[in-house]
Chains A and B, each alone.
Chain A
């Protein structure tokens, strides 16, 4: 099974700044996803990170606010840009691939914007 790590695990940021979250998978995965989860809430898919091309964003999420990179099959970054307190959340990355239909998850990044 794949192991996914995320950095940072948590951060406290000032409004108007940006934070880049890194996601590393220990084996190749076909698809990588970025989610947002408000405390006590469900997961909301932000985008699918595509290797070597632009991410595919879900309704309500735009590239200018959440730029995503995926330079290879095992690494992706999500940037939360021009942050406001409403961006305070847990950000999760996940991966899947091959015949697997389920997703492996990273431990998440807890973000607090003041």
Chain B
């Protein structure tokens, strides 16, 4: 399966701590994207990293990509209770806009 795999499946931390989530995949990619989903609602795009990029930042988010290991990580620094959500990685691997989704990490940030 080309589906991404994420770990951990669930993560519980205290406010102010950093949260790191990992994503692995099996095929060559055009880009890898991270999304957030609150309580089974629609997903919101967080950050996109292309196959020729190694690191990207957006606010408190830092994404790394290692194409040799076919893996990516999402780091959320100084977490807040509002960061509580499920986080999904998705890869774009073809010549269209279709995405293949990881299993997701459920993050709980405790006040």
Which residues of A are at the interface with B, using a C-beta cutoff of 8 A?
4, 30-31, 33, 37, 39-45, 48, 90, 92, 94, 96, 101-108, 110
Count class of interface residues, chain B: 20 to 34
Q: Are A103 and B97 in contact (CB under 8 A)?
A: yes
Chain B residues near A (Cβ < 8 Å): 3, 30-31, 33, 40-45, 48, 88, 90, 92, 96-99, 101-104, 106
Cβ contact within 8 Å between B97 and A31: yes
Contact A110 B40, beta carbon cutoff 8 Å: yes
The SS class assigned to the A binding surface is strand
- Residues of chain B with a CB closer than 8 A to A108's CB: 40-42
Q: Which residues of chain A come closer than 8 Å to B98, judged between CB atoms?
A: 33, 45, 48
Q: Is the CB of B103 within 8 A of A42?
A: yes
B40 touches A90 (CB 8 A): yes
Q: Give the tally of cross-chain contacts (CB within 8 A).
A: 54
Q: Are B97's CB and A96's CB within 8 A? A: yes
Q: Which chain B residue lies CB-closest to A95?
A: B97
The answer to whether A101 and B31 touch (CB under 8 A), given A42-B3, A45-B98, is: yes
**Chain B residues, CB < 8 A from A110:** 40
From the candidates B31, B45, B102, name the one contacting A103 in the complex (CB within 8 A): B45
Do B99 and A103 touch across chains, with their CB atoms under 8 A apart? yes
